[in-house]
């Protein structure tokens, strides 16, 4: 598995230190507010687990399962929700936590659906990584761990074809691993 990684972008320790600071930012923003953290599964699993444990505020934790990649390395453009019911966030402040902001389609779709069907008081977005690229949806993240170049990364929750999520660092996958398979499944 480690042989499949071209180079490491962020080591475990670097991620830990950055999340310490990010958690302080989130804590300052939500102090005194009722809020719900919604982790976007499966990619945000590791990040959200580390983040919420550093936020010393009463919060509710929920998750949403969506998919937009369907196994490839390019966003398919279709966002599918696995659950029929949304988390109960009526009148509450919501912090959506995701692994990465790429085209923005996933977070845009989640925000739209929550606003239309779940009547939250507010929605903010927190991502571990933000790719430097033109986004399909104009969408800003409110809390960002690291800005990265537009390349395919894995580890610390991020996958390629459901693999590599358990790597403790974030790294760039060797192109030969996905070459010939770049179209979504
Ligand atoms: P978006 O809808 O294009 O912004 O894609 C967001 C989702 O695609 C993220 O939640 C990830 O699950 C996945 N994704 C985007 N870029 C990468 C990457 O470089 N590696 C692994 N997954 C990615
Ligand atoms: Mg994801």
The per-residue pLDDT for 147 is 98
Report d(CA 40, CA 17) in Å as an integer. 22
Distance CA 172, CA 68 (A): 20
* Tens-binned pLDDT, residue by residue, of the chain (185 aa): 889 999 999 999 999 999 999 999 999 999 999 899 999 999 999 999 999 999 999 999 999 998 776 566 676 667 888 887 888 999 999 999 999 999 999 999 999 999 999 999 999 999 999 999 988 778 899 999 999 999 999 999 999 999 999 999 999 999 899 885 544 43
Q: Which position has the token pair 């990040």? A: 47
Q: Which runs of consecutive H residues, i.e. helices, occur in 3-153?
A: 12-30, 45-52, 105-117
- pTM, two decimals, is 0.93
Substitution candidate for ligand 1 out of 66, 97, 99 with most atoms within 8 A of CB:
99
Distance from residue 32's CA to the centre of ligand 2 (Å): 29
Cβ of 97 below 6 Å from ligand 1: no
Report the nearest-CA residue for atom 9 of ligand 1: 100
- Is 20 annotated as catalytic? no
Ligand having the closest approach to the CA of 128: 1
């Amino acid at each position: 598995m480690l042989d499949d990684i071209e180079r490491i972008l962020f080591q475990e320790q670097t991620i830990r230190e950055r999340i310490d600071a990010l958690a302080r930012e989130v804590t300052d923003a939500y102090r005194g507010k009722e809020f719900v953290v919604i982790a976007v599964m499966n990619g945000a699993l590791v990040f959200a687990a580390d983040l919420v444990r550093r936020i010393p505020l009463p919060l509710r934790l929920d998750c949403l399962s969506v998919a937009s990649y369907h196994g490839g390395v390019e966003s398919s453009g279709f966002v599918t929700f696995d659950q029929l019911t949304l988390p109960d966030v009526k009148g509450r402040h919501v912090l959506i936590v995701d692994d990465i902001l790429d085209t923005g389609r996933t977070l845009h779709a989640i925000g739209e659906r929550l606003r239309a069907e779940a009547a939250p008081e507010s929605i903010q977005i927190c991502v571990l990584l933000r790719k430097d690229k033109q986004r399909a949806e104009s969408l800003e993240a409110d809390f960002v761990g690291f800005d990265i170049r537009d390349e395919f990364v894995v580890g610390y929750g991020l996958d390629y074809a459901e693999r590599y999520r358990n790597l403790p660092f974030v790294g760039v996958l060797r192109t030969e691993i996905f070459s010939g398979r770049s179209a979504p499944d």
